[in-house]
Amino acid sequence: MRQAPTAQERVMKVCEFGMTGLVDGRTRGHRSPRWVQPKDLEPLLRLYRERYQGFNVRHFCAIARRQHGLAWSYSFVRQALQRAGLVKKHRARGRHFVRRPPRSCFGEMLHLDGSQHAWLALRPEPRPCLIAVVDDATRRLLYAQLSEHETTEAVMAALHAVFTRHGLPQALYTDRAGWAACTRGSAGRPRAERPTQVQRALERLGVEHILAFSPQARGRGERVNRTLQGRLVNELRVACQRAPKSPHL
């Protein structure tokens, strides 16, 4: 195998041929060994176009690897979908707030939040509420259940399911919804002398109840809701549709 030219040989080539002397003639005019032909990309593009239209690229890659044997990287798939006009280019979002360090242990603190959204894409009129419980240390989704409204009964059912399976946390982080705190006649400030049923239950169990005073304060729960709104809606839509059998990638 021919060795790469030394520094002295490069200088001599520049003096004799100019800047073109630095071009490696061994690889010039040859395609990269990792080059993919357009015909090999067509099953991937057709799979996204016919079945997973509207999925973000990272979600599509995860499902394609799990169900269709995708072997290409996320960056390659993203660029292929963008060149085909199936996915728009987005500027990366920057961080506007300093994030609080997560708790050190699983189950130490949980986030509970309800998200009113058009979760059923084939029936957009009803907007049920998704009750979700997330672990602060691992960001693991411990519970998710659709309910007609964010009620005390729905929240109690969520807490009972999580506490029975994973044990009691040290703290529960929530917003100031009606089931979480009484703010009537106090300009939005929680009234400690009038605890809600959920607050009384948490106090009896020895679980600290932390109330957030802004959406940014409970950013982990908000980010999980945003992820679910982007992924769960699409997965429910695909599960309800009868799509033709897709090719194996």
Verify that 224 and 170 share a domain, yes or no: yes
Which residues does residue 141 pair with via DSSP β-bridges, in sequence order?
134
Distances (CA, A) of 21 to 8, 24, 81, 211: 13, 8, 37, 68
Question: Which of 60, 90, 120 is the endpoint of a domain?
Answer: 90
* Higher per-residue confidence, 24 vs 204: 204
Residue 67 host element (H or E)? helix 57-68
Q: For residue 154, what are the domain limits?
A: 109-237
Q: Would you say residue 95 lies in a domain?
A: no
Please write the tens of the pLDDT for every residue from 125-182.
889 999 999 999 998 999 999 999 999 999 999 999 999 999 999 999 998 888 999 8
Same domain? 124 vs 219: yes
Residues 132 and 224 placed together within one structural domain of the fold: yes
Q: Indicate whether 176 belongs to any domain.
A: yes
Most confident of the following: 33-47, 194-208, 218-232:
194-208
Q: Are residues 55 and 119 located together in one domain of the fold?
A: no
Q: Which helix (H) or strand (E) holds 210?
A: strand 208-211
Q: How many domains does the chain have?
A: 2
Among the residue ranges 18-22, 35-39, 198-202, the one predicted with the least confidence is: 18-22
User: Which residues 6+ apart lie within 8 Å of 19 measured at CB?
Assistant: none
78 and 190 co-located in one domain = no
Beta strands in 49-185 (DSSP E): 109-116, 129-135, 141-147, 171-174
pLDDT band at 31 (very low <50, low <70, confident <90, very high): low
Q: Are residues 195 and 126 in the same domain?
A: yes
Which band of pLDDT confidence, cut at 50, 70 and 90, is reported for residue 233? confident
- Residue 228 has what pLDDT? 86
* Residue whose C-alpha is closest to residue 196's, from 177, 172, 219, 171: 177
Q: What is the pLDDT of residue 97?
A: 57
15 in a domain, yes or no?
A: no
User: Does 4 reside within a domain?
Assistant: no
- Does some domain include residue 13? no
In a domain, 74, yes or no: yes
pTM higher than 0.85: no
Confirm whether 6 is domain-assigned.
Answer: no
H/E segment holding residue 227? helix 219-240
Residues 179/116, Cβ–Cβ less than 8 Å: no
What was the pLDDT predicted at 1?
47
- Is 104:136 a contact under the CB 8 Å cutoff? no
